[in-house]
Amino acid sequence: MKKIYLGFILLIISSLIFAQVPPQLTVKSFKLENGLTIYLNEDHSKPEVFGAIVVNTGSKNDPKDATGTAHYFEHMMFKGTDQIGTLNWQTEKIYLDSMTVLYDSLSLTKDEAARNAILLHINKISIAASEYAIPNETDIILQNIGGTGLNAYTSLEQTVYFNSFPANQLEKWMTIYAERFRNPVFRLFQSELETVYEEKNMYADNAFSNLFEQFSKSLYKNHPYGQQTTIGTTESLKNPRISKMMEFYKTNYVANNMALVISGDINSEAIIPLIKKYFGNWKSGEVPKYPVYEEKPFNGRELVVKKLTPVKIGILAYRGVPNKHKDELVLDICSQILSNEGQTGLFDKLVSDSKLMGANAEVMKGNDLGSLLIVIVPKIIGQSLEKAEKLVLEQIENLKKGNFDNSLLDAIKLNYRKSVDQRFESSQGRSMMLISAFSEGRQWEDYLNESAEVEKITKEDIIRVANQYFTGNYLAFFSKMGFPKKDKITKPNWAPVIPKNSEKKSEFASQLNNIPDTKIEPRFVNFNKDLTISTIKSGIDFYYTNNPINTIFTLTLKYKIGINSNSMLAAMANYMNFIGTKDKSIQEFRKALQSIGATFRVWSSNNNILLEIDGFESKLEPTLKLIAEFMNNPKADEKQLDKLVQGAKMEYKTIKADAESMSDVLNNYSMFKENSEYLKHLSIKETKKLKGDQLIALFKDVLQYECEIHYVGKLSVDEVNKTIGNTLPFAITPKPAVYIENQVTEANEPIIYIYDDPKALQSKMTFWCNGSIPTEEEKAKLNGFNEYFGAGMSSIVFQEIREFRSLSYSAYAYYTNRFLKTNKGYLYAGMGTQSDKTIEGVQVMTDLIKNMPQKPDRMESIKKGLLQAIHTQNSGFRNLSQTVSSWKFQGYNSDPREYRMQVYNNLQFSDVQAMYEKFVKGKPIVITITGNMKKVDLIALAKFGKVIKVNEKLILKK
């Protein structure tokens, strides 16, 4: 004990020596005169910037009679303004104003016939208004400047809009975002409303989304946290009011309730005048004070039992604390004493001892209220939720009494510090922290000081706080196996709104070209300078990358054989995470790692078994000695085999009950037949026959294969090489690598595989057709084809299926090349639509694949986007060596993007057309449909190909 504690103190001291704040962690924050909060964070490691607008309002701010407003308004923010997305705003406005009146009238009308008449009128006005709309212009102009990752989200507390872009496009990005929020308009409202309907149906098909919604209602009986869902009620979505959304915008989207976050390759001081120029004229406003919602303590044990999920799940909930409360960090540590990543917590021991399938403690905090959640998964067979509850309550009592080692608390605090440091590593990660800081009213320094604050926490603090919050008053929410009725929202029988101006530009878009670009050179990866690659001996390659941020190392041992060679390797990798060594039990082994701030896991992929280690570099040698002990002397533990069986049973039940998962199962079968991952994996029966010694022998065999060592850290290459060589065991003569890539089935005719799921609201559909083997030039041109056809928000597929016809929340299509250059690629597409729209969905998607629309005017935008996006595609330092390794395996001796950029410079629409004709056109299309087949016209479906009905046994091994 004394040695461990002394080592911990020495580690803290040694790490403090290097605790100078690197420049990447410096944040400049201030407010404009209008109250807009600005956060600027410089990071010149990549020529890339991450930008975001944060609105301090979320679904909790929705009007009670118009739930879902914040989320739906987020959707509308992509439709443009009176400057973006319109050819003639003055005329378009007349129609949009009429729709505002019609939607208000609809919300007040109860008579069904009258409602249908209003809906038809809305449809006509929507079609007329679309004559002046330029669809997706926001997406297109952001794509033009190399914007990637364009997205937004609505949470309980905030709404956030963001994307990455090249550093030389900063002023154009500011111009676009400043305009987006100035005067958003509600064009193409009908189409987006139908899309949200599909989104709601999609969530309704997910059992665990329904579980959390029902649990939240019981947890927060008064507060909107529980009583209002982000997407909104069916009633609210059926009766949207544009006037309510306008009011919501004017009230909440004001400068003093918003923040601008910019992180990346910027000069903070130099861009302040631009920020003032573009964002300084946003209007301020008085933000209403949010009401106080009282949530009374639970009255003893309040039991709620429902049948919602394919397996039994229990959630125990205690009243906790909101953000910024004095006890929040102590409660975070309490939760990790119960369960943590190192698997050393009090609950983790229950799982390790096979007393429970799973138990996890989580702290859920909002700005108003907080909760402590204990998620329990009993054994699939033979254990009740009540028995599982009793086991975790006993461990909570141990927490309250302080019945845990001081070394556990010390180790958790050390690993907490490591997790905080890791959050600082990327500009996007830091941006997300700044977004939270604004919403929660924190200072950046609060995050920088968080580790020091955690270090002050004592065992006495843990006992005090645990006794204060883990009381006998709690919610016991039990979900037993069941399939509840789903709340379907049916779309009106509207004619699609198909704008005719998709190839035109607004005056705003044209004027963007007047803003000059600052020329920057792309930063391609230099295999000789950006990392160090060497061969330790034949079959053992070493990749080293410098860590510019902190003293946390990551080490990956990548053995070159995987589950495509032997499906038992997946079970082996899983099992190795449950056992210890000949001298240390699993708990002792995990505690030894955790005490020095290290984590370790084994996992499998199709062609690799990976051992992943991370920790503090000051403890590299003792960390690797522990890993070497594990590699040399793992000890079988037959009790842990039951976890594999329980896991297999749970996975089977969960997949079978989830429409999205079964869609993936069906698609895998259609593409790979007997090589489908759902048929090749071990069955429950096969898993039961496994023996510990058998799996350890398999692990030992894997260690004899060729291996790549990937190290990221600050220590010198020689020092790391020496430490690894002196500690870790490697094969004297490694077995040659085995790489197997399953071939896609050759489709000789159009085929439709259908799987009947009577409870599904949506039909989940995939489409694919065989392709060919491309040249390097064609690979670059296929990227252009993907951007044009179906890989983004401004693509043909997305526009035709989601934007124009509102058939699916998600719609995509792209040509994918196989990893091995000798294997053919394929076109892959997907969408999900309500069951009675299945035939229409199949018709539209297959028409697009068979007859790609010709819109050559889009090429300028696509070409610009591809060229600019090169600047935002560099790997972070943690992933750089894995990226280079992948390229080298495919035969590249330099960054392949350098050649592709040359191709992009000369890209023409004729190239896109040529790629379509060579790789897609005329190929038989294979379709898979998972859904309620009673709602599908199978005779009409047969017109698209040979219909093959499949059952669960054919496509999913039990």
What's the pLDDT tens digit per position in 240-299? 899 999 999 999 999 999 999 999 999 999 999 999 999 999 999 999 999 999 999 999
Instruction: Please state which of the ranges 3-17, 52-66, 292-306, 314-328 shows the lowest mean pLDDT.
Output: 3-17
Instruction: Please state which of the ranges 73-82, 296-305, 436-445, 476-485 shows the lowest mean pLDDT.
Output: 476-485
Q: What is the pLDDT of residue 743?
A: 93
Q: What is the 3-state secondary structure (H, E, C) of 775-792?
A: CHHHHHHHHHHHHHHCCC
Compute the CA torsion angle 548, 553, 558, 562 (nearest 10 deg).
-110
Q: What is the pTM of this model?
A: 0.92
C-beta separation of 651 from 623 below 8 A: no
pLDDT in tens, 167-216: 999 999 999 999 999 999 999 888 888 888 888 888 888 888 889 999 99
719 has pLDDT over 80: yes
d(CA 450, CA 444): 10
d(CA 275, CA 493): 46
| Chain centroid to CA 391 | 33
pLDDT confidence tier of residue 227, bands split at 50, 70 and 90 = very high
Cα 699 to Cα 178, 576, 631, distances in angstroms: 56, 8, 9
pLDDT in tens, 610-621: 999 999 999 999
14 has pLDDT over 80: no
Count CB neighbours of 598 within 10 A.
Answer: 27
- Give which of 73, 68, 120 is closest to 99, Cα–Cα: 120
7 has pLDDT over 70: no
Instruction: Please state which of the ranges 119-123, 279-283, 539-543, 589-593 shows the lowest mean pLDDT.
Output: 119-123
d(CA 180, CA 158): 17
pLDDT cut 70: percent of the chain above it = 98
d(CA 752, CA 144): 38
Cα 796 to Cα 434, 787, 803, 843, 904, distances in angstroms: 35, 9, 10, 15, 20
pLDDT in tens, 872-914: 888 999 999 999 999 999 999 999 999 999 999 999 999 999 9
d(CA 213, CA 854): 44
Sign of CA dihedral 167, 169, 175, 177: negative
pLDDT confidence tier of residue 21, bands split at 50, 70 and 90 = low
Angle at 678 between CA 673 and CA 679, to 5 degrees: 60
C-beta separation of 718 from 551 below 8 A: no
Residue with tokens 């160090």: 532
pLDDT in tens, 619-661: 999 999 999 999 999 999 999 999 999 999 999 999 999 999 9
12 has pLDDT over 80: no
pLDDT confidence tier of residue 13, bands split at 50, 70 and 90 = very low
- Give which of 947, 955, 529 is closest to 750, Cα–Cα: 947
Per-residue burial over 90-112, b if 16 or more Cβ lie within 10 Å, else e, is eebbebbebbbebbbebbebeee
Containing H/E element for 361? strand 358-365
Residues β-bridged to residue 833: 763
Residues β-bridged to residue 42: 264
